[in-house]
Amino acid sequence: MARIDLNSDLGESFGAWTIGDDAGVLERVTSANVACGFHAGDPAGILRTCGLASARGVVIGAHPGYRDLAGFGRRFIDCDPDDLCAEIVYQIGALQALAGAAGASVRYVKPHGALYHAIIAHEGQAGAVVRAVETIDPSFPIVVPPSSAIGRIARDRGIRTVVEAFADRGYRSDGTLVPRSDPRAVLTPDAAIAQAVGLATTGLAVSVDGIEVEVSPETICVHGDTPAAVRLAGGIRAELELAGVEIAEFVGGTAAPATRDAAPAQGSAVGGRG
Amino acid sequence: MARIDLNSDLGESFGAWTIGDDAGVLERVTSANVACGFHAGDPAGILRTCGLASARGVVIGAHPGYRDLAGFGRRFIDCDPDDLCAEIVYQIGALQALAGAAGASVRYVKPHGALYHAIIAHEGQAGAVVRAVETIDPSFPIVVPPSSAIGRIARDRGIRTVVEAFADRGYRSDGTLVPRSDPRAVLTPDAAIAQAVGLATTGLAVSVDGIEVEVSPETICVHGDTPAAVRLAGGIRAELELAGVEIAEFVGGTAAPATRDAAPAQGSAVGGRG
Amino acid sequence: MARIDLNSDLGESFGAWTIGDDAGVLERVTSANVACGFHAGDPAGILRTCGLASARGVVIGAHPGYRDLAGFGRRFIDCDPDDLCAEIVYQIGALQALAGAAGASVRYVKPHGALYHAIIAHEGQAGAVVRAVETIDPSFPIVVPPSSAIGRIARDRGIRTVVEAFADRGYRSDGTLVPRSDPRAVLTPDAAIAQAVGLATTGLAVSVDGIEVEVSPETICVHGDTPAAVRLAGGIRAELELAGVEIAEFVGGTAAPATRDAAPAQGSAVGGRG
Amino acid sequence: MARIDLNSDLGESFGAWTIGDDAGVLERVTSANVACGFHAGDPAGILRTCGLASARGVVIGAHPGYRDLAGFGRRFIDCDPDDLCAEIVYQIGALQALAGAAGASVRYVKPHGALYHAIIAHEGQAGAVVRAVETIDPSFPIVVPPSSAIGRIARDRGIRTVVEAFADRGYRSDGTLVPRSDPRAVLTPDAAIAQAVGLATTGLAVSVDGIEVEVSPETICVHGDTPAAVRLAGGIRAELELAGVEIAEFVGGTAAPATRDAAPAQGSAVGGRG
């Protein structure tokens, strides 16, 4: 039986400013990537989100980012790896304390935004993230894109990586995402649901060029920053269940991605059947 | 034999800006109040200070403050107690992770600056600090001024409080500090050394009005933000040792303040022998 | 013919976080209090709001606040008056440049949030605001609450003050607002419309205790942070027009508040006819 | 007679943290690049520096940077050019107001740190800086490195550029600076003085490879962040005067760089006589 985790970025409000319907999303996902205060998230709001997640049994992960409230962590910052490592340790530790205050605990790490994208290729920053996780708890899995520096470095150090796919983003035939500047970057709701089901049952996405791409995700990211996004998350969950996919957290489970035997080739194009 | 702890505020640099000679101070004190990033302290710098403290066997405490880099945490902020509580949990958690990365651990809490002064009387904020410490670890002592709301609330909840005195600040006859606006606020080095020895051996300070004031501190704060301050800290330590005072951390020790039987009357004037 | 200005706080989004429907509100008001980056407002967003205001002929005023993004400027900060003065000069200057980039200019000042409330009584901070405005341009009017330190100090220095009333907030019989902790703090939409018309035509509000209070405002604040608030602003505007009130900016106009002869007694209770 | 301007970065303290001896440096330079609050500089401190500069007749320029206090503006941030443009307008406007409060005015712009270096090649961000300056005042010169995108774009739009050289930094034979990671990056004081005199009298520097490089600066940057730097600035000034070089501000003067006829080839290697 196929099995998949659904994750979403949460706790990203800040003071008087709110983003996202955390309570609504938490009804639909199994893993909550909770902001840690550097790109978003004030402590009281983070604590509330942790409390909501804990009450629903949703697993909490740390979602650290660059120190950039004005840019919401979406802008690359060329920071020194040692500084970055300490900043990530700081953020995870802060979230651990707030999760603890909510009766829960942090169980994995997913880097945010521009940091997530940078460490696909930036060896120095990728290494910094891995060292930070090692320092906090080497048993924490890291959620990573397929075929990334962060994934390779983490696995080399014995840290579990969890490959992530995106339901509503178009893939290129090399397994990378279509950039947001391209009109094909974001899929329609129907296409996103179909892609999610395909990813969860076969491990494959069909690229915008019609090529089958092996992603083999253990988790699929769904968004919750708009009412439409929350509805889409619900639709994805419903169709996955109809397709017989078990929706369960990747943490603590016995990971069984659809095509785990292909793991070394993650993200590579494996065919042209489209 | 009299016994006293010496503490100092450390880790208060931020990025390119440095304050204090942490390495120098750590040769002279037994407890290091390490900034947590809200009033001062960037993660990489905090980590370095934790490493220095750990290498010297100096106990690390959390030194959380208001979120106010521009004001160095020295300005009262009328924040909501629930927000403040979450902010302090966040700060302590962040420091715990960085201390852990340095092979050490956080073992007590001393609020910083305007927060330290506010919670002498501000019940709401004092309660917030106590709840934050309870949440993190109810075995953590809180360093407090004598006769304060924070001290009373903490003790009511079963949390150990550690009364602090200041070597180089003038006392008023009610046990409070002379405000910095008064020219008698800061003592000369010789007077500071004498006051420290008096506090450690008798528990008493002589107020600026010549009245003996019972403070009964378990720890004395020394500063390290200027070369003169570091020298003064060394002078205080030397004279305390000459006076036969054991200088040892209050954490983990069997606390024996000079006049512990007078604890309920902390900070009250007990005589007029001057 | 009665005449009134309608003002609203705008430009208060920050990066990825949005608050308020600036375009919608700008269809309904005559004066835009634009955030200056310390409590809210990022430069690109401020520039967009200035452009929208300029295109609609809405007067732009500076809306400086405490340096407190996390608190949205709603928490008193006990900052030094000289520091505050420089911070306000900084904020107004920054807004002037952005308004200029939009082909407009800043023409008045209205302090924000906790600062607005603090300077009703805080002489030091009120004086700091007045000195900042004097420094920038002593011809700038300052929007003030009735019977305030800021109003008195400004007038003493020859700076025009513009008394403000709130459409949707309950008044106490001493002319002050019912605190938000009181359930009578916020009026229903119908009551808010009625209060606005009363204020504009007679200068009076009826307090929550049924006492007529003289406010004699030159401007009424309407909110725009929710769709309901924008609708209310439109309703107030429509009813004011039906009541024959001219809705026009206070800046540059020949100010004619409903009961200008009573200006010295602003905010005092003048009767008990309710 | 040769003529050169000496500039230095000032106003870079922040709250309780101080960097640099602004008063000392202002005795030695003709142009002060004053921080604008994004990478460094709090309003009250900026105001003090403007007052000191004004009292000594030193020309004030804006020194805007990335929004990055933690990184002191020394880390590239991949921000959107439109956002960056607005941020620079904001910063210059804020400084204009504070300079005005000190009885002075802003007369040029020199980007700071990582921004200064990024716009040597980054067309989008270079264009953003130029648009910001155009918006504020197209008569403002921009201080630029030789052979840079910022220089070319500014001149194409009719904005005066002022080429800057560094006294104490080693040059490569292509006219760029030796990176700080290279041990030859920073010259000894004697070499820095010699390089400054050479640059001011001939327009040439000798690269670390012994090649003469034409820089043709109108201004030379000297540092003031340490006592040694202030002494070096004084030494450079003294030797320039001994060499008969007129030390005068580039703003408002009739610019006469040593080899102005070679301006189109700025920064290119012109010989191998070493």
pLDDT, tens digit, for every residue of B147-199? 999 999 999 999 999 999 999 999 999 999 998 889 999 999 999 999 999 99
* % of chain C with per-residue pLDDT over 90: 87
Q: How does pLDDT run across B100-109, given as a tens digit for each residue? A: 999 999 999 9
Helices in chain C by DSSP H: which ranges? Answer: 22-26, 43-56, 81-101, 113-118, 123-136, 149-156, 189-202, 227-242
What pLDDT sits at residue C54? 97
Region A114-140: what's the mean pLDDT? 98
Q: Is D69 within 8 Å of chain B by CB?
A: yes
How far is B65 from B106, CA to CA, in rounded Å?
Answer: 16
Q: What is the pLDDT along chain D (274 residues), one digit of tens a residue?
A: 799 999 999 999 999 999 999 999 999 999 999 999 999 999 999 999 999 999 999 999 999 999 999 999 999 999 999 999 999 999 999 999 999 999 999 999 999 999 999 999 999 999 999 999 999 999 999 999 999 999 999 999 999 999 999 999 999 999 999 988 899 999 999 999 999 999 999 999 999 999 999 999 999 999 988 889 899 999 999 999 999 999 999 997 544 444 433 333 333 333 333 3
Cβ count near A274 (within 10 Å): 12
- Would you say residue A207 has pLDDT above 60? yes
Q: Do C149 and C121 meet the contact criterion of CB atoms below 8 Å apart? A: yes
What is the three-class DSSP state of D190?
helix
How many whole angstroms separate alpha carbon C161 and alpha carbon A128? 55
Residues of C in contact with D46 (CB under 8 A): 86, 90
Whether A258 shows a pLDDT value over 90: the answer reads: no
In this predicted structure, the answer to whether residue B240 has a pLDDT above a threshold of 70 is yes
What ipTM was assigned to the predicted interfaces of this complex? 0.91
**Which band of pLDDT confidence, cut at 50, 70 and 90, is reported for residue B225?**
confident
pLDDT of residue B256 exceeding 60, the answer is no
Contact A32, A26 (CB under 8 A): yes
Are the Cβ atoms of B86 and A44 closer than 8 angstroms? yes
H-helix segments, A80-122: 81-101, 113-118
CA–CA separation, D158 and B109 (whole Å)? 59
Number of Cβ pairs closer than 8 Å across A and C?
Answer: 35
When CB atoms are compared, the residue of B13, B42, B72 closest to D15 is B72
Nearest CA distance, B15 vs chain A (angstrom):
9
Residue B16 to residue D74, Cβ atoms within 8 A:
yes
Q: How many beta-carbon contacts under 8 Å exist across A and B?
A: 86
For residue C93, the chain D residue with the least C-alpha distance is: D94
pLDDT of residue D261: 39
> Measured between CB atoms, does B81 come within 8 Å of chain A?
no
Q: Any idea which fold C3-257 has?
A: TIM Barrel (3.20.20)
| Contact between residue B195 and residue B217 where contact means Cβ atoms under 8 Å apart | no
Distances (CA, A) of A193 to A248, A269, C230, D15: 18, 21, 36, 52
Cβ contact, residue pair A75, D70, below 8 Å: no
Say if residue C12's pLDDT is above 60: yes
State the chains in contact with B (3 or more Cβ–Cβ pairs under 8 Å).
Answer: A, C, D
User: How many other C-beta atoms are found inside a 10 Å radius of the C-beta of residue B228?
Assistant: 10
Residue D93 to residue C95, Cβ atoms within 8 A? yes
Residue spans per domain, chain C:
3-257
CA distance linking residue D221 with residue D116, whole number of Å: 13
Task: Give the pLDDT score at B43.
Answer: 98
Structure confidence by residue, pLDDT tens digits, A13-54: 999 999 999 999 999 999 999 999 999 999 999 999 999 999
Tell me, yes or no, if B95 comes closer than 8 A to chain A by beta carbon.
yes
Which of the pair, B51 or B261, is modelled with greater confidence? B51
pLDDT reported for residue D236: 97
Residue D76 to residue A75, Cβ atoms within 8 A: no
- Sorting pLDDT into bands at 50, 70 and 90, what band is B252? confident
Q: Which of A13, A90, A92, A131 to mutate to test the interface with B (most CBs of B within 10 A)?
A: A90
D79 touches chain A (CB under 8 A): yes
- Contact list in D for residue A114 (CB cut-off 8 A) is 78
A contact chains, 3+ CB pairs < 8 A: B, C, D
**Which residues make beta-bridge pairs with D166?**
D221
Q: Give bridge partners of residue C166 from the DSSP assignment.
A: C221
What is the percent of chain B with per-residue pLDDT over 70, rounded to a whole number?
A: 92
> Is pLDDT larger for residue A228 or for residue B164?
B164
Query: Count of CB atoms within 10 A of residue D226's CB?
Result: 12
The reply to whether residue A43 touches residue B82, judged by beta carbons under 8 angstroms, is no
CB hemisphere CA count around C125 (13 angstroms)? 22
The answer, for C138 touching chain D at a CB cutoff of 8 Å, is no
Q: What is the pLDDT of residue C180?
A: 85
Residue A1: the pLDDT is: 79
Instruction: Establish if C42 touches chain A: CB-CB under 8 angstroms.
Output: yes
Residue of D nearest to A76 (CA): D78
pLDDT in tens, A129-177: 999 999 999 999 999 999 999 999 999 999 999 999 999 999 999 999 9
d(CA D201, CA D180): 26
Task: Name the closest residue on chain D to residue A81, using Cα atoms.
Answer: D75
Q: Which residue of A has its CA nearest to D38?
A: A70
**Closest Cβ–Cβ partner in B71, B78, B114 for C75:** B78
Identify the pLDDT of residue D226.
87
**Rounded CA separation D207/D214 (Å):** 10
Q: How does the average pLDDT of chain A come out, rounded?
A: 92
Q: What single letter denotes the amino acid at residue C119?
A: I
Q: Say whether residue B71 is in contact with chain D using an 8 A CB cutoff.
A: yes
* pLDDT surpassing 50 at residue C269: no
Tally the C-alpha atoms within 13 A of residue A24's C-alpha that lie toward its C-beta: 17
- In angstroms, how far is CA C123 from the centroid of its own chain? 20
Put simply, the answer to whether A75 touches D79 (Cβ < 8 Å) is yes
- Please choose, from the candidates C256, C32, C234, the residue with its C-alpha nearest in 3D space to the C-alpha of residue C163: C256
Please give the interface size between B and C, counted as residue pairs whose CB atoms are below 8 Å apart.
29
- Chains B and D form CB pairs within 8 A to the count of 35
**pLDDT band (50, 70, 90) for residue C274:** very low
Which subunits have 3 or more CB–CB pairs within 8 Å of chain D? A, B, C
- Chain C neighbors of A74, CB-CB under 8 A: 16
Contact state of A78 with D79 under an 8 Å Cβ cutoff: no
Conformation bin of residue A163: beta by default, left when phi > 0, alpha when psi is -120 to 50: beta
At C226, the pLDDT band (50, 70, 90 cuts) reads confident
B43-96 confidence digits (pLDDT tens): 999 999 999 999 999 999 999 999 999 999 999 999 999 999 999 999 999 999
- Judge: C72–A19 Cβ closer than 8 Å, yes or no: no
C71 CB within 8 Å of a chain B CB: yes
Nearest CB among A15, A42, A72 relative to C16 is that of A72
Interface test with A, best of D78, D80, D180 (most A CBs within 10 A): D78
User: C128: distance to nearest CA of chain D, Å?
Assistant: 12
Mapped to the 3 state alphabet, what secondary structure does D43-107 carry? HHHHHHHHHHHHHHCCEEEEECCCCCCCCCCCCCECCCHHHHHHHHHHHHHHHHHHHHHCCCCEE
Q: What is the pLDDT of residue C34?
A: 98
Of C44, C82, C136, the CB nearest to D86: C44
A67 CA: distance to closest CA in chain D (Å):
8
Q: What is the pLDDT of residues C237-248, one digit of tens each?
A: 999 999 999 999
Which pLDDT band, with edges at 50, 70 and 90, does C225 fall under?
Answer: confident
Q: Residue A225: what pLDDT?
A: 86
Please give the residue that has the higher pLDDT: either B125 or A274.
Answer: B125
Could you give the CA distance from residue B111 to residue B88 in angstroms, rounded to a whole number?
9
Closest CB to C93: pick one of D44, D83, D97: D97
Determine the distance in angstroms separating the CA of D14 from the nearest CA of chain C, rounded to an integer.
12
pLDDT of residue C271: 37
- What residues of chain C lie within 8 A of the CB of B79, using their CB? 71, 75
Is A265 a residue whose pLDDT tops 80?
A: no
Inter-chain CB proximity B135 and A90 less than 8 Å: no
- CB-CB under 8 Å, C70 with B67: yes
Burial class (CB in 10 A: 0-12, 13-18, 19+), C258: buried
pLDDT of residue D180: 85
Do C42 and A14 lie within an 8 Å CB cutoff? no
Residue C74 has pLDDT above 60, yes or no: yes
What are the pLDDT digits (tens) for C139-154? 999 999 999 999 999 9
* 151-190 of C, contacting D, C-beta below 8 A: none
Confidence at residue D164, expressed as pLDDT on a 0 to 100 scale? 98
Tell whether A84 is within 8 A of chain D (Cβ).
no
CA distances from B256 to B1, B146, B219 (A): 9, 16, 11
Nearest-by-CA chain A residue for C13: A17
Q: Which chains touch C (3 or more CB pairs under 8 A)?
A: A, B, D
Average pLDDT of the residues in B231-246: 96
Contact status, residue D16 vs residue B73, Cβ threshold 8 Å: no
Q: Judge: B44–A94 Cβ closer than 8 Å, yes or no.
A: no
pLDDT tens-place string over residues A73-85: 999 999 999 999 9
